[in-house]
Structure 1
Amino acid sequence: MDSATEAFVAHRNLLFTVAYEMLGSAADAEDVLQETWLRWAGVDLDDVRDQRAYLVRITTRQALGRLRSLGRRKESYVGPWLPEPLLTSPDVAEDVELAESVSMAMLLVLETLKPTERAVFVLREVFGLDYEEIAEAVDKSTVTVRQIAHRARAHVAARRPRSVASPAESRDALAAFQRAVETGDLQGLLDILAPDVVLLTDGGGVVQAIPHPVVGAGKVARLMEGGLPRLWRRVAITPAQVNGCPALVVRIDGEIDNVVAVRVDDGLVTGLYFVRNPEKLSRVQREETAVSR
């Protein structure tokens, strides 16, 4: 490999994660990486002091532009919008900070930030870049970036999960939820669901989904107990590591129908995220197929 290719490959995972955390979409993150590569390939490396910082800067600027266009698309999105599920390796779960930063719950919190706030928060709080590097990436002064970081940090702190559940705690809660749904055990569901649990389903207007959030243990439990057990008995359900947390992959006739991610606080399920939009499941399907070969 030439020097430009070698540097890009060395930092590719970092660049993808930066783009994914800013966009909540693996497909869009891959497009950003393609754009980053095209720009990087035309750079004179003799003029680059820090290749990693330069690549992060290109990626951030490309992601910011795409994030603003995504915002316009989301305004016309049918039903709740959820991030695209991302299969992650077990070692991501062991890195508690990284696992939390890519979790469905955290990505939904990041959705409430303005584009530049989101970029600054991700670069500073997740990847630990210094303010000078971030200022160059978002084309702002260092003083302004510090102010944006302070504002974004306070915004996220008020909305982030109350505590970071361990992988074992999340697995236990998800297993209890699965058992209760498969057996139609209403009391079992009520026992594992937090009183203020929120259920979201993302069909993107392409497949059937619940058009509004379902809030409250009673409503969510009745929904699960009433209609889904009959469906779940016809499908294959396998555990997976999705966005740094235990999740379920649900298949019908071998094809992925949905991915179920959870948010767990204090041993109870506080968030249920059903991603059904086929466009958001294609990457999981490809990666699982590749692993099984």
Structure 2
Amino acid sequence: MLIWARFSSYRVSVGMVSPPSLAPGGQIVFGHVALASFVVLILRLRLPESSEWKQARTERESGVATYRARTARIRDIFKRKDLLVAFLSLLVFYSLTNLAANTKGQFGTYVNVNVVGLTVQQSSLISLLTLPVSIVLAIWFMRIVDGRRRMLFFGFGVISLTAAFAVPALLGFSLATVLVAQLLFGFGAAFAFEGIMKVWTQESFPTLLRSSAQGAIIAAARVVAAALALWTPMLLSAPRVMYTILAVGVLVGALVAWFAFRSRGRGEGSLAPTDGEQISA
């Protein structure tokens, strides 16, 4: 996470000092992506699997009929209502919030330059100045996510993330609204976006199914975002309408997650049975 945060700061720094017409700036950015990806891969390969995963894998290979051993494939999600509810709720939540985040990430500079009237360097400077705030908020999220105030912060995050798109939609696009929206997005994304989605995924599915479920959710959300991105430049001809749609999408997705996970707190674990529960063959 910190490596990718460092990459983000490096990317926006290059955007500040490199004229748009010069290729070396882009080469530096993509070279840094390759380096960061390689470092993350090496670090990930050195991480051992958890003891819980190893035990579940042993149970599955030995034919032991525990819940966690028998529930390991994507199709198993559709055999249990509790797993299906969690999966669909997370799919809707992440897809809709990611539409807004992806649009901001891919087209934020485009909006700042072509709608607000900033330069690429000024747009990059705004991102760079707010990046430390986002990192601090991400660390704060990790401190509170296992506590009883998780849903309280999620609620604040939803309000903030929705407002990040509603403010420009209602008040227009200017330097002031861009700055406010950037700060609101940083807070909202920390407490009501990908981080909490991954936590809920870990809690909602047995250990052998978690990576597959999370991968399917992320893949589907990426496809939806890519489809919207094909039309985004045209839709941004009416930016206030576009941002209104994104704000509504964030709110709808968050409400789905709220109703699905609102009663769960620290230590409650999965919506499904515990990993050690025996099930019939």
Q: Give the structure with the higher percent strand.
A: 1
**Greater RCO (Cα-Cα under 8 Å, separation 6 or more):** 2
Tell me if TM exceeds 0.5. no
Q: Give the structure with the higher percent helix.
A: 2
| TM-score, with length taken from structure 2 | 0.25
| TM-score, with length taken from structure 1 | 0.24
